[in-house]
Structure 1
Amino acid sequence: MRLISRPVSEETFSRLAAGGGGAGAMAELRAMQCFKNRLLIRELVLEARTAGHPHADLSARAYDLMVEMETHGRGRVESELCYPAVGAWALRTYLSLKAGTGVKDDPGRLAALVVAVAVRSQTACQVRLALSDDAIVLPGLGRLSAPAGARGVFDVTVRPDGEGAELDIGRSTVRVDPLRDDTGWQVLRRLPVGSGFSLVVDDADPYRWPAGHVTEPRLSDAKLDHWARCLREAWRVLTARHWTVAEEMTCGVSVLTPIHAPAFGQNSATSRETFGTVALSEPQHGLGMAATFAHEIQHAKLTALTGMVDLTRPENGRRHYAPWRNDPRPVNGLLQGAYAYLGVAGFWRRQHRFEQGARAFRGQVEFTRWREAAHRVTGTLLACGGLNDRGEEFVKAMRGTLERWLDEPVDLAVAAQARREADQHLRAWTRRNSRI
């Protein structure tokens, strides 16, 4: 579903198609996501009224208050509107209201966003808030425990105190501090990265990730320290050798969401619903985390772009081989994978030169295998008839980058190992999918 159709600039399209983009391209994509969230919130408030939702008045009052607050401090409202979980809540709520599928996705949660804006901007206000669970999350800030016996709709008074704010909820008062926990309050922790850039570890918001069953609960302090160490090392790798990825991370990623680890290796993902979030299982080391970011930022860019520009034709049911998957993939999935592994190949193309011994060899293998795999898949995409004109233009630019990389020499032993791994994957894939 596309609620908006607005062209991306040709310069940004071309830079993205070549596999990069940088700060300018990411800023353009991020601005469009914020615009989409703004539109969704306005539409869900109207739809709540049309659908006769019991919290329609709450959402309308919260919206009016947010508009009033924006008049006095646009930047703060804008940044809160861009928070990934806000976009996920707005989309799901709008769709559920349109479909008439119950009240699980509550438009009244807009009041929690207003409280978050008020705390961040140090704005005194009063808003009506619905409390139906044991706690409510203020997006981007933290988890507020409901006072004993508090259920239903309450007037919440926000009284800023210079750092955070005191919230009067009924007869109870809870202090909300953006930096630390307090009684009845758990803050979302931030991990400093460098040069004023930090990432929120969102392990609380119910809308932080589409698949709620894979998310981890609140990280212990010891685990959080491990994440922080890995993140600092990852950032040193990116800023020293992968400047475009670092720029794109700074402009386009604001949240890390912990998810369950697999039996072996690591999980990571991005989602169309939560632009600005990278979900990943516990990192093993900084270099691996840096490679994960190089992979996931590609997914984030392409997902945002395809929300603005169609690159593929309607699906025809055909499925294709992807050298990084065990299952056959439709055209959209194949394109996403090729673009991500273009980023992976680019990361190892540069990184292996700074490694030694076995790690240098492994880095060359990663570069060699994934440049060839992504190049192969661009050929599949161009031949399968699943791309429209803009999609063909995009994939041809991807292929041009990969062809230049294919001309770069690697050791014979590296090439042989990359070929063995690729052939092994293809044989296993063929056995697994022989009946398809």
Structure 2
Amino acid sequence: MSPSPHRISVTSFAGLAAGEGGAQAVAELCAAQESKHRLLVRLLVAEAGAHRHGALVARAYEALSQMEADAPEEVGRLLRHPALGSWALSTCQGHAEPGRLAAVALALAVRTRTACRLEVPVGGSLMLPSIGLLSLPGDLPEVAEVTVEPAAGGAELRVGGRTYLVDVSGDRPGWQVLHRVSVAPGVSMTIDDLDPYRWPGDDADGRLTGERRRRWASCLHEAWEILRSRHRTVAGEVAAAVSVLTPVVARSAEQYSASARVTFGTIALSDPIDGIGMALTLAHELQHAKLDALSAVVELTLPDDGRRFYAPWRPDPRPLFSLLHGAYAHAGVAGFWRRHIQDAEHGPRAQVEFARWREAAHQATGTLLDSGGLTEPGTQFVATLRDTLGRWRAEPVTPDAAAQARLQSEHHREAWVRTNTQV
């Protein structure tokens, strides 16, 4: 369970700065995130010694280490699970129960088909990160012994004299699985609508109905086909980085999506509307995820000095790092629509979107470079991104599309000025 030091290669940094990076660059970011999660787990184990569940945590860590010797790749996949990292960070900050490490070990036992027996805190339910949720009777003690035995389709869990079938393919009495959607050989995403650490915001939605889940799966398949056929680099990056989709409550009739630094690998979104909208969501939020992971390894901005800046996509002034996030994400949006300009169905919209967001992101990179708030690597990163956007600005769109994009930008700026007292 040892972490490793990580750097981002010069080649990967340059590729990420240009707006993409590719699967190899994203793999480097994912490896760094896994090491961060390992560090957090080691820290929480070290600090749990004086905790009332300290002995329980130590036994869980020992079990994880023993299973890692036989299944290192499976341990790595589990440690990269976004909700696990979110819980580990919250625990190190003193806000979560360290005894949940026993549930992590039990989840690994299920994934690796390993017999295991551990004590674990329970409170009416037992969440197995990345697998599902077991509902338990309320008469169990605060800490219960749980035994895992491999079984067809998953595992049998014995708790308090009762036996439960943990089926990785579907729900069972007392058991709710985290459903997985396979979009290509070796590429699947988990719909996490159960784990209490799945999303740091207060807008997490509840369990999807079967009908909603089928809609998600249908849109995801359509989105993947669009990415695979028209955005191969983005598809490779999504396959490497995005493992979880988390439902959140819609804020309007439009598609809403978000990502968070503490849940790298998760994209939160409201019910998808169609395939191309979901493909755009994946491409957009992927940019945020990449920048979050990169900035955990390379400092791109100096400490916040309190200044706030105009962002051509927001109604409020933004700190410098948020402006950088928005510029990078909207460069991804422009790059997405750039590949659909000639489409019979989406071409007219694509031209407007491409024209608007290439200009908006280019404008923001100018603000960033003039701010004096970037580090040396940050300056290099933004200058490279600006070069990409500069080349895109020279690409033609129809006069009507250019006029629409310009009008939308002007209206946004006018509304922003009316709302905010300082420009």
TM-score normalised to structure 2 length: 0.97
Q: Does 1:328 align with 2:326?
A: no
Shift of 1:151: 2.9
Question: In 2, are the aligned partners of 1:256 and 1:279 still within 8 Å (CA)?
Answer: yes
Q: Is 1:224 aligned to 2:213, yes or no?
A: yes
Who is 1:208 aligned against? Answer: 198
Give the structure 1 partner of residue 250 of structure 2.
261
CA distance in 1 between partners of 2:422 and 2:412 (Å): 17
Deviation of the 1:195 alpha carbon: 2.2
CA contact (8 A) 2:316 2:416 kept: yes
1:191 aligned residue: 181
Alignment check: 8 A CA contact 1:122 1:162 kept: no
Counterpart-to-counterpart distance in 1, 2:422 and 2:347? 39
| Gap regions ≥5 residues in structure 2 | none
- Mapping of residues 21-420 of structure 1, within 5 Å: 21-49=21-49, 52-96=50-94, 104-131=95-122, 133-211=123-201, 213-356=202-345, 359-420=346-407
TM-score (normalised: structure 1) = 0.94
Tell me which moved more, 32-41 or 259-268: 259-268
Q: Return the alpha-carbon distance in structure 1 between the equivalents of residues 361 and 10 of structure 2.
A: 24
Mapped to 1, the partners of 2:31 and 2:153 lie a distance apart of 28
Residue identity in the other structure for 1:66? L
Q: Displacement of 1:73 after TM fit?
A: 1.4
Q: Which residue of 1 aligns with 2:11?
A: 11
Cα contact 1:65–1:114 (8 A) shared by 2: yes
Q: How far does residue 410 in structure 1 lie from its aligned partner after superposition?
A: 0.9
Q: What whole-Å deviation, never above 9, does each CA across 1:207-236 have from its counterpart, x for those lacking one?
A: 00001x201110000001111111111111
Deviations 1:97-125 (A, max 9, x none): xxxxxxx5000000111111001110011
Displacement after TM superposition at 1:5 (Å): 7.4
Partner amino acid, structure 1, of 2:326? G
Aligned pair count reads 421
Conservation of the 8 A alpha-carbon contact between 1:5 and 1:308: no
Aligned residue number for residue 100 of structure 1: none
- In structure 2, C-alpha distance between the alignment counterparts of 1:278 and 1:353, rounded to whole Å: 29
1:430 and 2:417 correspond: yes
1:6, CA displacement in angstroms? 4.0
Q: Among all aligned residue pairs of Structure 1 and Structure 2, give the percentage whose two residues are the same amino acid.
A: 51
Confirm or deny: 8 A CA contact 2:19 2:332 kept in the other structure: yes
SS in 2 for 1:160: strand
1:160-190 deviations in whole A, cap 9, x for unaligned? 0143111111211111011111111110111
Asked whether the 8 Å contact 2:255–2:277 carries over to 1, the reply is: no
Q: CA deviation at 1:156?
A: 1.0
Larger deviation, residues 284-293 vs 156-165: 156-165
In the alignment, structure 1 segments of 5+ residues that lack a partner are: 97-103
Tell me the SS of whatever aligns to 1:42.
helix
- Once the 2 structures are TM-superposed, how far is the Cα of residue 4 of structure 1 from its aligned partner? 9.5
The residue matched to 2:276 in structure 1 has which SS? helix
Aligned 8 A contact 2:4 2:35 in 1: no
Using a 3 Å threshold, how does the CA distance of structure 1 residues 272 and 5 change in structure 2: closer, same or farther?
farther
- Note the C-alpha offset of 1:29: 0.5
In structure 2, distance between residues paired with 1:165 and 1:5: 35
Cα deviation code 1:264-308 (max 9, x no counterpart) = 312111111111100000111011000111100000000000000
- Partners of 2:132 and 2:177 within 8 A in 1: yes
Please report how far the alpha carbon of residue 7 of structure 1 lies from its aligned counterpart in structure 2 after TM superposition.
2.5
Q: Distance in 2 between matches of 1:412 and 1:130?
A: 64
The 2-side partners of 1:166 and 1:129 are apart by 16
Greater alpha carbon shift after TM alignment, 414-423 vs 257-266: 257-266
